[in-house]
Amino acid sequence: MSPLEGVSPAHNPQAIVSIIIPALDEEATLSRAIRSCRETGPCEVIVADGGSRDRTVEIARAQADAVIAAPRGRAAQMNAGAAVARGGVLLFLHADTLLPVGSVPSVHAALQDPAVVGGAFRVQLAASSGAGRYVRAMLGITGRAIGARARVTRAFTGDQAIFVRAETFRSVGGYPEIPLMEDVELSRRMRRAGKTVLLPLRVGTSGRRWEAWGPLRTVLFMWFLRTGYLLGWTPSRCADVYRRGPALTRREPAPPMSSAGG
């Protein structure tokens, strides 16, 4: 079955949601992410690869509508994917995140209001198979807290699958190509352009960062980073602090950089 069955790109490009997945060595998660896109409704799936050395590109070519090579860096990869997208709506999905059934219809429904330029989803953090009760409970609380914060501030993070009208995305300059906080900055630009919404559906995303660093410590650390950014820290300084990780924690390597976290 064609991924675009039920829509006519030639006659109604606004009916297409183009889902852009930035990827770098994501062979373990990419296939599930693309399948979740197919199950949610007619869409175009674009994988923007940043130079993977595993089977990521092979998997993407077998399942996505388009696979492009892009300069390494999440913002640069998402901008490159957006540049080739055919749809009137862009949705940016991390390779370790799964869209829930009904996502595409929900996006279309939200955008029936001409004042709405985009938005994001609530999030459910997935625990690893070996996680204990405390970690699982804290991940549940953290996911709800992320939704509460996003509902009040309309500052969305990449793990929340940000979506935006293509014309709005281009008019605000797309993602700023900075090492961290690109999603927070895009949210700010979207709010200036029009109304944004938080959808009730929950995307499922990896809780690996919270497990590695501890749920509460991770939330506090990410809020510390975000506050620093709003007070004038440069994205490079934020990225340096992120790489070092929160203080008083076991030395785990920093997960892939994203400003999600509560």
What's the pLDDT score for residue 214? 67
Q: What is the rounded CA–CA span in Å between residue 1 and residue 5? A: 7
Q: What is the rounded CA–CA span in Å between residue 91 and residue 78? A: 10
> What's the pLDDT tens digit per position in 209-242?
666 676 667 767 777 777 777 777 777 777 777 7
- Cβ atoms of residues 204 and 100 within 8 Å: yes
What's the pLDDT score for residue 10? 47
pTM comes to 0.81
Q: What is the rounded CA–CA span in Å between residue 11 and residue 238? A: 44
Please compute the mean of the pLDDT values over residues 138-159 and round it to a whole number: 76
Q: Is residue 252's pLDDT more than 60?
A: no
Q: Is residue 201's pLDDT more than 60?
A: yes
> What's the pLDDT tens digit per position in 13-67?
667 999 999 999 999 999 999 999 999 988 999 999 999 999 999 999 999 999 9
If pLDDT is split at 50, 70 and 90, which confidence band does 244 have? confident
- Cβ atoms of residues 240 and 130 within 8 Å: no
Burial class (CB in 10 A: 0-12, 13-18, 19+), 248: exposed
Cα–Cα nearest to 179, from 124, 242, 231: 242
